[in-house]
Amino acid sequence: MKKGKRFGKSQVALAVMVVALAAAVWLNMRYSGVISDTEADTSSKYLGQAEYVNATVDGEKKEESDYFATLRKDRDSARDDALDIIDETLDRKDLSEEERAAALEKSAQLAQAADKEGRIETVLKAKGFEKVVAVIGENDINVIVGKDKLDTAQTAQIQDAVVTQTDFSVNDIKIITIDK
């Protein structure tokens, strides 16, 4: 019998892609809020687990923290819908090169906006803002913060984080405080 290679180039490439996919899924779950440090221990949820219908103090706290998770989910869902439309556009056969380039450019802009939003939120969380969501628009950025009021130093911290992570000026930043 002829001894051959155990692993060819295609098997190695497939293994690398599977590992990359697993890492991407884990990172997505980790940073989208599906897995958190506090839920990873004993309070993790199980499929089909019952929840009490009666509102309690603990339930109210959970509801308040879910507000920002819902904001992130809605923002990401809107972005995914836009990317789906772009993908459908790119799949059309009658698309001109200019239209294809414009669709690819819009897709890249959406990806850059998502990256910048994530970096802004990470920086602000590191500066002590527990509840924060950044939403980049065409000409401005909204930063939603879970505080009743902000002092001048906190406002400056938010503006500094946005200006250093994006190309927006201070005039383009809208800070919205929500006590949730």
Name all domains of the chain by residue range, CATH numbers in brackets: 56-177 (1.10.287.4300)
Q: What is the pLDDT of residue 6?
A: 64
DSSP states of 116-127: HHHHHHHHHHHT
Residue 125's pLDDT band (cuts 50, 70, 90)? very high
What confidence tens digit (pLDDT) does each residue in 97-113 have? Answer: 888 888 888 888 888 88
With contact defined as beta carbons under 8 Å apart, do 86 and 106 qualify?
yes
Across residues 75-87, what is the average pLDDT? 87
**Cα-based distances in Å from 34 to 1, 30, 45, 149:** 51, 6, 10, 29
**Cα-based distances in Å from 11 to 1, 6, 16, 24:** 22, 9, 9, 20
Among residues of the chain, what percentage have pLDDT more than 90?
19
Return the SS3 of 172: helix
